[in-house]
Amino acid sequence: MAYYQFHPTVLDIPGQAPFLLTEAMRGEGARVI
């Protein structure tokens, strides 16, 4: 593989620790805003 892309998506809720969302969640219709 010559190139590798990483597209992190983080859920950041005030007062809680942020965590990564999987690509599968985005593929199932989650909206990134």
Question: What pLDDT sits at residue 32?
Answer: 62
8 A C-beta contact, residue 7 and residue 30: no
Predicted local confidence at residue 33, as pLDDT: 63
| CB-side neighbour CA atoms (13 Å) of 10 | 8
- pLDDT for position 24: 72
Tens digits of residue pLDDT in 1-33: 677 766 678 888 899 998 887 777 767 766 666
pLDDT at position 20 is 83
What is the residue extent of each domain of the chain? 1-33
Overall pTM > 0.95: no
Contact call for residues 25 and 11 (beta carbons, < 8 A): no
Residue 14, pLDDT score: 94
